[in-house]
Structures are given as C-alpha cells and as structure tokens.
Structure 1
Amino acid sequence: MNVRVRFLRFRASVSLLLMASLIFSILSFQEKTASAAGESNYKIIGYYPSWGAYGRAYHVWDIDASKVTHINYAFADICWNGIHGNPDPTGPNPQTWTCQDENGTIQVPNGSIVLGDPWIDAQQTNPGDSWSDPIRGNLKQLILLKQANPHLKTIISVGGWSWSNRFSDTAATQQTRENFANSAVNFLRKYQFDGIDLDWEYPVSGGLPGNGYRPEDKRNYTLLLQEVRNKLDAAGAQDGKHYLLTIAAGAGPSFRQNTELANIAGIVDWINIMTYDFNGGWQSISAHNAPLYYDPAASAAGVPDAQEFNGAAAVQGFLDAGVPAAKIVLGVPFYGRGWSGCANANNGQYRSCTGTPPGTWESGVFDFTDLQNNYINKNGYTRYWNDTAKVPYLYNPANGNFISYDDTESLGHKTAFIQSRSLGGAMFWEFSGDRNRTLLNKLSGDLLGGGGGNPDPGGDTTAPTAPANLRVTGKTSTSVSLAWNASSDNVGVTGYIVKYGGSSVNVTGTTATVGGLASGTSYTFTVQARDAAGNISPASNAVTATTDAATGVQPWAPGVSYSINDQVTYNGVVYRCIQAHTSLTGWEPPNVPALWQPV
C-alpha cells in the first residue's frame, strides 16, 4: 500500500472518529438538557424567626420543609465586651444580655457570633426532649427537621434590623474579622448548620440611629466576607462539604452605593434582596409594600423614591453593579402593610393617611393568613388590583384602612419575573405569616415544578407502611416513653412523626420520650413514618397513657427562695429552677423562662 492510500484511509478513520465523537457529544448534551428540564435549580429560602415559638405559637415542626430548599434561622447576634443586643431606644427590643450558649454565660472574643435567644434557641425543652439533652430548643428541632428532609439545608442568619449595631466594629480590624469568621465555623459545626447569612442593616449608613457606622464599612464588608469565606472553605475541606455564605441586601440604591457588590458577588453563594418594605407606616401616604414594577402614578402622588423602590428596579440595579443573575434571589413578603384614615378616593391608594391600624402582631403589619381569613373581601374590605405594579390591595371606606400585600396572583408575576431574568430563586419573610401555606404552595409549584424542595428523581410516590405495635414503655409525671416496630419502604424510611393532641415530634429511631407533659393527664399517641420523597405513612395504632401524679414536688409560691434544680408544680406542669432567686408575685414559671424550665 502506497503512502497516499494509507494517508487517505487514516484521514477517513479520523473523520469517522470525529463524527462519532460529535454525535455522542450532541446526544449527551441533549440528554443533560432533557434531564435539567425535569429538575429545578431554583432556590426557595424561608426565614424562621426564633420568636415564632413564643406568642405566635408557630414551631419549627409546623414548617412544611418539602416546599423549600433552605431555611434561614433568625437571628444570631455578635458579642462585644461580654454582651450582645442593641440598647438603641428607637429599636423594637432596646436591651442587652450577657453572651451565652446553651449552658449559660460564656467569655468569647469581641466579634464572635453567639445565640440571640439562648432559651428558645437551645435551652427550652420541647416535646420529645429531655432536660439533659445538650442542645434543645429550636436548634434541635431544626436538626430533626433536616433528618426527616434530607434535601433541606439550614443557614444561621446573623444581625437583622435589631442586631446590626456591632457589624461595623467587627468588620473594622483583621483581628475582629478573624474572630467572627472563626466563630462562624464553630457555630455551624456545633449546631449543625449548612451555612451563614450576614444580615447587616446597613453598612456606611441606614438602619437604627444608634448603630455603629464608618465610611470604611464599604471596603470592610468585603474583607469580612472574604475572611469568612476563607475559614468556611478550610473547614469544608476538612468536613467534606461546602459551607454556604450568603447576605441579605437592601433593595434601594444606597445599599449598592455603600457596598462593593461586584466583589461581594465573587465571594458569596448568593444574595437575598429584601424587595419589600418599600413603603409603610413611617410615611403618611399609602403605597405598596412590595411592588414588582414602577407605577408612575405613585411618583405623581408624591410617594418617595417610587421609581427606585420596586422589585424590577432593585434587581436591575444589582445586575448593573456586576452581580450575576443566578446569584440574585428575589425577596417576597408573607405579610402586608397598612395605613388608617386614608382619603376615600382612588380606593385609598396613593392617598394621604393619618396613621396605622392594629395589625396581626404589631401596628400596621398583617400576616397573609390573617388577611386571608379576616380581610380579603370580608368585613367591609374590598380587594383591588394594581395592574402596573402587579400587586393587590385592600380598602375599607368606612374606616379608611388601606392594606398592601402579596397573594398568589402577584406571586405568579414575581415567579415569572424570576424565571424570565434567570434569577437564583425566591426568599420570603417569614413562615408563620402563611399558616395556610397558600403562598408557599404557589412559590413551590411555580419554581420547583410542583415537586417541592424534596426532589425525588425516581418519582417515588409510594408511602411507607404504617408503624406497628405502638406501645408505652414507661412514663413519669411529665413524660411518656414509646416504642414501635419499624416501617418498611420501597426506598427507605428517613424518620417518624409522633403525634398527640395538636402537637407532633420528629424522631429518627423507633423509640421516643415525649416530655413537657402535664402530670396526671391522659394523652393519646400515634406514629407515622416518612420517606426521603416526603411520603407519609398511615398512622399506627393509637395508644393512650396517663402521666403519673406529681409527688414530692411543692406548688410554686411567691416569697420562696429557690435554688438551681429545685422543682415546683404550676398548673399541673413541673418546672426546674435554672437560676437561683426569691419568687415574687407575677414571676410564675410560665412568665419567666429565664428562671424556670419545664421538666
């Protein structure tokens, strides 16, 4: 065979190989594209405020974790000279506390992250806990929620409106930046979080008047985030995971001017823009809490900064500042804002008003569920729609109350906006505002394809079998111990839900001790199993147990000196003293959780 023939055959072979490679690449790309089309890369991030477990009576176990990808727990604080908190009298909670962990007062370097409310965060005994558990409270419940929902990631949010007073000091020096970053790693590891969210309101200017500010905040914020990123990456390499770093960002132009957004975007995993609170009771003219688009009628009526204060303008500002679209998360409110005494013209919209009406929990602020149950086309309120801003509102001509809020229609426009701009997803404040899950279901259905945040590529819809042979294995005056036979599942059981009355407890094994019960009281229990896809089994057999009567424990009384670990009864519940004191009238155990803890 001559050289020319060998060359032609070689060239033909190469051509065939290249063509085969090209075809394989095209098919592979098509397969990946088809696969990606069936899954969602959007994030849905919900804030859970620690105080939700107090008067709101909304607990971690009330969260439908299948509808979100991440939970931001709000808030941790920064320790400085042994204390944390913000004494600014204009703030909602102007006081300070000693820096504490789940065991009591601690000594840590300035700039360290500490629990914001140690009692509710990690000390309170919830059903299923024992007072001897090292970590209890909301943080234990978050850990259990993740065990039951393997897709879920939890993030500790630091600061917020009330507790941003020490960010400027912390970011100001290399030493305090290192203190903050080191404490971030320790906090994530200790309390089993997957990341940290910095909610600094705000660098350079803004926020509460008593907060610390410096012109250098603009540069120092970037340096602080870079230090945290370095420490998280080093820890992640040791722990075999990627720790998340995010920030909550103001939506107005001042935040963009006072931060190095392009540099920050290269450090953080994403940025949650607080595209709400654009207007509220601090101004005398009614307007919209979270308009998606600019309404020229707002400017014409004198609404401040209307051209900048809307979701679309905020997102465009971040894009123009160099933030990639995929790292922008749009904030949506699960609440509305209202005004009272608004002039009866234009259905109360963009009118002069005299004040704010009583809200759900605070003046002028309404949970969506409250609006849904009591206001929307009820009790003299009529729903209207602003088709320019793409938001609904309510007006009652009898009292002049105007309420701006979001519903499923406005969220549909916002999720379409997220998709059309290829943004990273949606963030909302906060879970307890939507107890009927109307808004949460809308976000999940639009952004997660209806499958929720608990993805199951195999399409598993088979529920586990019901747990069998539920039985009582022990009881005290304040607890009942249970055991049951394991359920089976086609993929695998990830946990169990123990239910009694209106309460529930998540556990991973086939035993549970439900604590914090009233003495001499009958309780009926059932158990259900949960799998990784979120399928829930039928209930087990029910068992009823009556807790023992309290013996040897005296009722609480004023004027008595109590020592640590003394126990008393109050309204049938046994409490343990956690701080020595002499009781006074009004210091009944349920009223002073800093002194008494349910056993």
Structure 2
Amino acid sequence: MLSGTKGRAEGFLYWDDGESIVKSFSTHKYYHWRFEYSSTEEGASLSIKTEHSASLQIPTLDTLEIFNYRYHPDFNSFQLNNKEIDIDVEISSYDPNTAILYISSEHLIKMTGKGPFVLKWEHSEEWEAQLDMHAFAFVPYWATLFVCRFMDPNGQMIGFDVYGGKSGKRGKKNFYYAIRNDGIYFGEKRGEENELIESWDTPCIDASVENMALKASSVPTGTSSVPAAACGKRVVGYYTGWGTREITEDQIRRLTHVIFAFVATQADGSIGFGAVSNEPDQGDAAAKAMQRFNDLRSKVRTAKSGTKMLFAVGGWENSQYFSSIAADPTKRANFVNHVANFLRDQQIDGVDVDWEYPVTGGATEGIPADKQNYVTLLSDLRTRLTNLATELGRTVPYEITLASAAGEWTIRPGYDLSGIMQYADFINVMTYDYYGAWGSQWGAYTGPPSPLFYGSPPGFSGKLNADFTMKYYSCRSGKPSKLNMGVPFYGRYWENVGAAIDANDEMWRTADAVGGVYQGGYLAWKDIPTKGWSRDSASFHEKTKAPYIYDSGSRRFLGFENVQSLQHKVNYAIERNLGGLMIWAIDLDDYSNTLLDVISSADLCSGGSGDTSSYQCVPIDDIRWWTPENSGPDTQIKVSEVYGHSVRILLISTVFAKGQCGKSAPLINGYYPVCDPDDPGYSCCGPAGYCGSGSEYCTCEMCVDYRTNPQKILDPPTQPTRPIQWYTMNAPEGQRGRCGSSVPTINGQIAICNPDDPFKHCCSNGGYCGTGAEYCECNGCVDYKTQ
C-alpha cells in the first residue's frame, strides 16, 4: 500500500486457471481485498475490507509487509477491531536497510467474514521520510494468481503487482506476465506477453513496486538461531511435495536451508509442478505439489529466520531426462532458463539438482559422457544464475546444490568431483538406503538403512556405510566444508524374516520371498508407533551405531534412526569437520520434532573450519585392487529399487574369488595388486595372497594392513622390476606357485619365482616357490632375488 500519511491498495486473489483469468478478470472466482492506510507520528492503522464472489475458503492474513515505511518503530501496542492483540516482537520487525516493516504472526487476522477489519499499532520514534514510493503487500502464495493494484493518496492508480507468476492452465499450458509502464501483459510464452489486461495513464517509475517487492523478499531476512549457522555450516531439510504433514515455522527456524522436493523435469528440459513418480492415480500431484510449495514459501518468509529456500529437480523416478538434457545444448539451455525463470518468479534462493544418477546406478542407466556433461550443465547453470542475480540487483548469489549417490560404484564413474565443486555450493550426500527389502535376491538381507560404520558379516562389502561414503567424498574432493551427510527420518522393514546369519549378531538376517518378491517397505519415523512397532523394544547395534527391532513372533525386522543413532552421526560430522547435515525428510518427523531437535541443536562449528580433514586418504586415484567389478564374471552386484532419495546397493558374494593381493597375484593395470584401504572388510593382505579382515589378514608377520596405513600402497616396488616369467595366483592348478623345469615354460622360458616377492622369491629343488632354507639354501634351490 502507498503510504504518505494516507494510502490505498486493493488485491484480487483468483482461484481459476490462468487461461480464464487472461480472458476475463470479472467472471471467475476471486477474493477481493481493499486496504486503506493512515499514519501519524504516534501510530498507524490499516482497514481491510473484504468480499468474495463465491463460496470459497476464506484465507487467513498472516503477514503484512509495508515498504519504505517512514518510522523506526518502537511498538507500544497492537489492536484488532479495538481489542488488544499480542504480536511477538521477534517476528514483527523493521529493516532499516530496505525500510520495510514486517508484521508477522500465525493467523494475524482470521478472516471469518467480509470485514471490515481494523489493525492499529502505536510507535514512538521520530518521523523519518524514506523514498517517494510506499507500498503495502499481502501475498497469499498458495493461490492461483494474486493481482494487487496500487494507488496514490488521491486514488490514482499508479501500478500493478502480480504474485504467483507462472500458473497452471488447462491442458498443461502455462501463462506468463510482464509488468510494463502501461499495464500487465499476459502470454503463453516468455518474451511474448502481448495481451494487455489493464492500463493506466500515470507511468510507473523505474523503481517500481514490483521491483521493490522482489528485492525485499528474494533474499532471506532475519538471523538464524541454528548453532551451525554461526560459522557457515548447514542443517538442510528436504520437504516433500506429496507428504501429509505440513511444515511449521518452528521447523523452518531450525534449518539453515529447506529444499522443496520435487519440481518435475520434462524431456525438453522444461520444469514445472507435476508427478515425479511412477505411481498410478496422480491426477492431483501437480496441484498438491504447488500447494505445499506455496505454503512452504509463505512460512519461510513469515519465519524471518534467515532460512534459505531452494527447490529440487529430479529424484529417483524423475531423472530419466537428465542424460539427454545435459548432452543436448538446446535442451540444456532450456533447462537452465526454466530454472532461472522459476527462481525469479517464485523469489527463492536456489536449486538442488537431484540427478539419480549420471552414468550408472539409477532407475534409468546413463552414458559415460554424463560425467563431463554434468559439469557442463552446472557450469551453464552457474553462469545463468549469476547473471540473473545481477539483473535483479540481488546481493546474495543464488545457490546451486546437488543430491548425490552414496555408492562408489556410482560415484567413481559418474561424478567429476573436482569439476562439480567449481560450481556447486554444497553437496547433499544421500548416505542412506544401503539396505532395504528390494524386489530382488539382495532384498533378502536385513540391515540398517543408514549404518554409520562397517559392521556387516563376512561376505558383505565394507563400503555399505556412511563413514566410507563421506570419507570418499572428502578425500576425493578435498572439500569437506561443501559436504552434508544425509540422515533419514524413516526406517525400512522386512517381513518373513528368519534366523540370524551370525548367532552372535542379531542384526543381520535373511528374509523369505513370497512369490519371488521380498516383502517390506518404508516407514516414516512419525508413523512407527501407529504401524505396530514399539520404539522402546529397539536394540542398538554398536558396530554400525544403528537401532533395529526384530519381532520373532511376527517375523518382522525394522531398521531405522533414533535419537541415539543421530547423536552419533552429529558427533561424526563434528569430528570429521563436515559442512553440515541433511535430512530426508523434514515432514517425516513426529509432531514434537524429536529427531530434528538432535540435528538442529548440533554444535557443528566445534569441529573446526575450512577444509581441514582427519581422514587418512588413499594416496592414489586409480584402482589397484581386484574388485567384483573388475575381476571376472563370477562377481555378483545388485542395483536396488528404492523410494525417493536412493543409492545403489552392493553386496559381494561370499566367494570373492578374485580378491587376490601381493606380488604373486595377477597385475592390475601394470601394478602389483594391493587391498582397498577404504573397505574394512577387505583392507588387509593375508599370507595366502587374499584380501580380508581380522587378525589372520591384518596382524600376522606376513600380513599387510592398508587400512591403518594407506601409504603402504606406495611401498616399492609397485610394479615388476623385470619382465614377468613366473606363474601368478590365477594360473591353472599344477602351475600356480610352481617353478623350474618340471612345469610348462612361460613364453619359451623356464618358470622362475618373482624376485620382488619377499615371501616367494626362491625356487626349491622340488619346483615350488617360497622362502626360507628349504627353498633358498638347499642343493638345487635358486634364489632369484640375488640373481
């Protein structure tokens, strides 16, 4: 509202689709406000008159924003219809930099009829004139379209403001608007807004009401009370577009960032509210997503907590177009422009790219070029958003974040971390869904959805835990400050569960399939008690730092997170100086915010600053150990089918036949193979030349422990010092470990023993490689290390 000493403004909130509004403002459902404002040095009053065209849900007035307010207010009282009301001064504030008065309170005015409503307040500071333009705005963001007309004190209309921007039309079309000096123009394509709806004689000045509103609301206001924010660290919460629980301002105040998931991506690179899963009966998915998005945005602004709001594109079931979008310059430009337009129209703070996954591991497999194309996509996006911020006069850069995989088998081929880090503000690492009742043979194995540490039985990969994943990202990127470790506010359960795999460890069990399918699913933390589970009956697995419940009577198993496990994750993030924690998803918590309390109160700043790291990083980038992926056809790998945010799941067969190591093992890319220091299940090379864990592999005289000291990978010689003329461990029976004239020659030469092998460099007179007197000092023995 214009505010000299008096002013008027009025607004129309339309429920109809954009097409009807373009054709006619007057014949469709609307809600109409008229605002009259007056002020003196002592106080101000705002009269609100309302009417509506049909039986509509009457919205609640939660927030008033008065631009270029002429006072530094020191509020003495608030009255509504001459009755005293309490307004929390912490959320009723004045920003002297933008001269904007915010009066915010949940249900400030509950509109139960056609008014009038009169809100009065008193202040005691001196009159201080600001700019010539003064405007009032009330924006009900959850509706289709809101048009506000601004008048001067004499009733002369001088401008329009439009909120809601892009809005749904019939048949999935869209309309756009443009504010120009002579009115509002609409059109079905951006840049082609040619249909004039209203006009006026008095031209708008360059610093229009719309631009003032953009600058005022497009950057978060207020100061965060989240401890992590004090040093620039983060508590990030996703909020789903399909959930049932609505986010609260209290939850928002406990976050540094809130991310709406998801805005749907289309094949041509365009984005918009719509279905983001393959579930049937999603006719109202777009409407529900839009309603939840707008409700979130309104509450973020009302909270005035400095919380940044982003939106996510993609997800497990809506990433199928990213590969072609990133590869095609036209589609890529379309995607980048749609993201920029969405940020501009919705006036929020950034985008979260949730491509699941580049190259491999997602519901839809990609191509090798995805790895570089992803960097190109982010580079283009960063350039466009930097330019957009300049165009709008935004002082805080737009943020670009990523949601990324947890499994090395997806990260290594799909993510150029050094390239990505140039353009991403931070990465939300999805360190969950390592175990679940998947629709395949690997769904048989119970376990925690998000184990913090390795604690699996023999035969399982040692990389199915958050510790491995965060170490990998931190070491490979060198940027722990840009990494948020994901925590799930949900659990996963199995039915038809049998005996424990290890009698000494009740966590790990196998389930029986029904019709070839393993039965189970996903369960929000808030729903656990209502679905037949008692949290009080949970056991805590010390190795993985994860709770679980096994009900032998019903043969059901539930792995989940609780306060105890989350506190371990908080401590881990502090100890490893991570940039923050990420929650999937905030609307899965209970109504007491039990889990959020643990995360939001974390003193992440106590872990240090910058990119200092306490991880012992592997000193090489290439793979010099035999893995299931690179060692032969008898390896078994599982790609999971999961809900929402997901990871690829790997389970190594108990045979692990090709996990050889040492100087007698077959070379890998010209190097002697070692054991993977980052896989606690297979990080030590035992005397028999196989990788494993435990004392027989790690602490014996002939053992090599690469996990404790990854630098041992570089111990010379790392490559053969002479051409290979010895049989390696993958040789046929009768040749493996043999030497001398009694065995077949190698390339026409007598088989020798490897002089680089400290344990098998001598050939005995019986034709076997080894060390000691019976191999090196007997009559007929040959020590090839000395030859």
Normalized against structure 2, the TM-score is what?
A: 0.43
Using a 3 Å threshold, how does the CA distance of structure 1 residues 88 and 220 change in structure 2: closer, same or farther?
A: same
Give distance in 1, aligned partners of 2:228 and 2:265.
42
Residue number among 477, 481, 493 corresponding to 1:338 in the alignment? 493
| SS of equivalent residue, structure 1 residue 278 | coil
| SS of equivalent residue, structure 2 residue 230 | coil
Residue number among 142, 152, 161 corresponding to 2:296 in the alignment? 142
Give distance in 1, aligned partners of 2:523 and 2:250.
20
Residues 256 and 321 of structure 1 are in contact (CA less than 8 Å); yes or no, is this contact kept in structure 2? no
Amino acid at match of 2:512: T
Residues 271 and 329 of structure 1 are in contact (CA less than 8 Å); yes or no, is this contact kept in structure 2? yes
Residues 293 and 310 of structure 1 are in contact (CA less than 8 Å); yes or no, is this contact kept in structure 2? yes
Shift of the alpha carbon at 1:38? 9.8
Residues 249 and 255 of structure 1 are in contact (CA less than 8 Å); yes or no, is this contact kept in structure 2? no
| SS of equivalent residue, structure 2 residue 432 | coil
Shift of the alpha carbon at 1:284? 0.4
Give distance in 1, aligned partners of 2:450 and 2:230.
29
Shift of the alpha carbon at 1:82? 9.7
- Aligned partner of 2:512 in structure 1 is 354
- Aligned partner of 1:311 in structure 2 is 466
Using a 3 Å threshold, how does the CA distance of structure 1 residues 67 and 449 change in structure 2: closer, same or farther?
A: farther
Residues 382 and 396 of structure 1 are in contact (CA less than 8 Å); yes or no, is this contact kept in structure 2? no
- Aligned partner of 1:65 in structure 2 is 252
Q: Residue deviations 1:192-250, cap 9 Å, x none?
A: 22000000011111221xx3622110110010011001111111223322100000000
Shift of the alpha carbon at 1:174? 2.2
Residue 538 of structure 2 is aligned to residue 383 of structure 1: yes
- Aligned partner of 1:121 in structure 2 is 289
- Aligned partner of 1:511 in structure 2 is none
Shift of the alpha carbon at 1:444? 1.1
Residue number among 215, 218, 223 corresponding to 2:376 in the alignment? 223
- Aligned partner of 2:574 in structure 1 is 419
Residue number among 363, 366, 371 corresponding to 1:213 in the alignment? 366
Give distance in 1, aligned partners of 2:342 and 2:315.
18
Q: Residue deviations 1:403-430, cap 9 Å, x none?
A: 1111111111101111111111111111
| SS of equivalent residue, structure 2 residue 237 | strand
Residue 467 of structure 2 is aligned to residue 276 of structure 1: no
Note the 1:3-42 alignment, pairs <5 A.
39-42=230-233
Give distance in 1, aligned partners of 2:262 and 2:499.
40
Residues 262 and 315 of structure 2 are in contact (CA less than 8 Å); yes or no, is this contact kept in structure 1? yes
For the pair shown, the structure with the greater C-alpha radius of gyration is 2
Amino acid at match of 2:449: N
- Aligned partner of 1:103 in structure 2 is none
Q: Residue deviations 1:46-105, cap 9 Å, x none?
A: 1111111xxx2x1244762111111110111222259989x999x6427999xxxxxxxx
- Aligned partner of 1:181 in structure 2 is 336
Using a 3 Å threshold, how does the CA distance of structure 1 residues 377 and 80 change in structure 2: closer, same or farther?
A: closer
- Bigger CA drift: 399-408 or 61-70? 61-70
Shift of the alpha carbon at 1:146? 1.9
Using a 3 Å threshold, how does the CA distance of structure 1 residues 267 and 449 change in structure 2: closer, same or farther?
A: closer
Shift of the alpha carbon at 1:383? 1.1
- Aligned partner of 1:93 in structure 2 is 279
Residues 50 and 138 of structure 1 are in contact (CA less than 8 Å); yes or no, is this contact kept in structure 2? yes
Using a 3 Å threshold, how does the CA distance of structure 1 residues 432 and 139 change in structure 2: closer, same or farther?
A: closer
Give distance in 1, aligned partners of 2:229 and 2:524.
34
Residue 423 of structure 2 is aligned to residue 267 of structure 1: yes
Residues 434 and 464 of structure 2 are in contact (CA less than 8 Å); yes or no, is this contact kept in structure 1? yes
Using a 3 Å threshold, how does the CA distance of structure 1 residues 49 and 37 change in structure 2: closer, same or farther?
A: closer
Give distance in 2, aligned partners of 1:230 and 1:96.
35
Residue 347 of structure 2 is aligned to residue 192 of structure 1: yes
Amino acid at match of 1:367: A
Note the 1:424-439 alignment, pairs <5 A.
424-435=579-590, 436-439=592-595
Give the unaligned 5+ runs of structure 2. 1-226, 607-787
Q: Residue deviations 1:291-339, cap 9 Å, x none?
A: 00111xx141x44x3x111101001111222240000100000001111
Shift of the alpha carbon at 1:181? 1.1
Residue 234 of structure 2 is aligned to residue 43 of structure 1: yes
Residues 341 and 353 of structure 1 are in contact (CA less than 8 Å); yes or no, is this contact kept in structure 2? yes
Using a 3 Å threshold, how does the CA distance of structure 1 residues 37 and 319 change in structure 2: closer, same or farther?
A: closer
| SS of equivalent residue, structure 2 residue 577 | coil
Give distance in 1, aligned partners of 2:604 and 2:288.
32
Give distance in 1, aligned partners of 2:390 and 2:275.
40
- Aligned partner of 2:4 in structure 1 is none
Give distance in 2, aligned partners of 1:422 and 1:323.
12
Residues 340 and 388 of structure 2 are in contact (CA less than 8 Å); yes or no, is this contact kept in structure 1? yes
Shift of the alpha carbon at 1:437? 0.8
Greater helix content: 1
Note the 1:283-294 alignment, pairs <5 A.
283-294=443-454
- Bigger CA drift: 146-155 or 416-425? 146-155
Amino acid at match of 1:388: K
| SS of equivalent residue, structure 1 residue 364 | strand
Give distance in 2, aligned partners of 1:443 and 1:119.
31
- Aligned partner of 2:27 in structure 1 is none
Shift of the alpha carbon at 1:365? 1.2
Amino acid at match of 2:419: N
- Aligned partner of 1:162 in structure 2 is 317
- Aligned partner of 2:559 in structure 1 is 404
Residues 352 and 402 of structure 2 are in contact (CA less than 8 Å); yes or no, is this contact kept in structure 1? yes
Give distance in 2, aligned partners of 1:439 and 1:400.
27
Residue number among 314, 327, 335 corresponding to 1:172 in the alignment? 327
Give distance in 2, aligned partners of 1:244 and 1:398.
50
- Aligned partner of 1:371 in structure 2 is 528
Amino acid at match of 1:291: P
Give distance in 1, aligned partners of 2:319 and 2:421.
21
Q: Residue deviations 1:485-528, cap 9 Å, x none?
A: xxxxxxxxxxxxxxxxxxxxxxxxxxxxxxxxxxxxxxxxxxxx
Residues 286 and 348 of structure 1 are in contact (CA less than 8 Å); yes or no, is this contact kept in structure 2? no
Amino acid at match of 2:389: G
Give distance in 1, aligned partners of 2:263 and 2:228.
38
Give distance in 2, aligned partners of 1:38 and 1:310.
27
Residues 169 and 212 of structure 1 are in contact (CA less than 8 Å); yes or no, is this contact kept in structure 2? no
Give distance in 2, aligned partners of 1:262 and 1:403.
38
Residue 259 of structure 2 is aligned to residue 76 of structure 1: no
Give distance in 2, aligned partners of 1:142 and 1:202.
27
Using a 3 Å threshold, how does the CA distance of structure 1 residues 37 and 382 change in structure 2: closer, same or farther?
A: closer
Residues 348 and 402 of structure 1 are in contact (CA less than 8 Å); yes or no, is this contact kept in structure 2? no
Residues 242 and 289 of structure 2 are in contact (CA less than 8 Å); yes or no, is this contact kept in structure 1? no
Amino acid at match of 2:527: D
| SS of equivalent residue, structure 1 residue 51 | coil
Residues 417 and 476 of structure 2 are in contact (CA less than 8 Å); yes or no, is this contact kept in structure 1? yes
- Bigger CA drift: 190-199 or 441-450? 441-450
Give distance in 2, aligned partners of 1:68 and 1:171.
31
Normalized against structure 1, the TM-score is what?
A: 0.56
| SS of equivalent residue, structure 2 residue 601 | helix
User: How many residues were matched structurally?
Assistant: 363
